[in-house]
Amino acid sequence: MSVEVRVPTLLQKVVGGAKVVQGDGATILDLLDDLDRRYPGLKEKLIMDDGQLHKFVNIYINNEDIRFLGRLEARLSEGDVVSILPAVAGGSA
């Protein structure tokens, strides 16, 4: 099933400069595997060596955080919009 994937600026170079790409998969992990086949090196920027999502990356399905939807096993449906966002931290008082 095809979904729209919104790519953050930091990763757009990996996907040929695109802000939005299409991908296929029944789960987020399947989608990341598909995207990595199309854009080699993308998955290693999102997934740690232990197979978990990097702690500085947030992924949303239709504006819902995948941490509350099953993490990498979160299910996708045709037409979903997946957003990959780097976590924002820092600042000072």
pLDDT in tens, 74-90: 999 999 999 999 877 65
Flag whether the pTM goes above 0.85: yes
In a domain, 48, yes or no: yes
Q: Are 15 and 22 in contact (CB under 8 A)?
A: no
Q: Are 43 and 22 in contact (CB under 8 A)?
A: no
pLDDT band at 61 (very low <50, low <70, confident <90, very high): very high
In a domain, 93, yes or no: no
Predicted local confidence at residue 86, as pLDDT? 86
Which residues have CB under 8 Å from 55's CB, separation 6+?
48, 87
Q: How many domains does the chain have?
A: 1
Predicted local confidence at residue 93, as pLDDT? 62
In a domain, 92, yes or no: no
In a domain, 19, yes or no: yes
Exposure string over 51-88, b if 16+ CB within 10 A, otherwise e: eebeeebbbbbeeeebeebeebebebeeebebbbeeee
CA distance 3 to 21: 9
Which has the higher per-residue pLDDT, 24 or 87? 24
Range(s) of the domain holding residue 18: 2-86
In a domain, 35, yes or no: yes
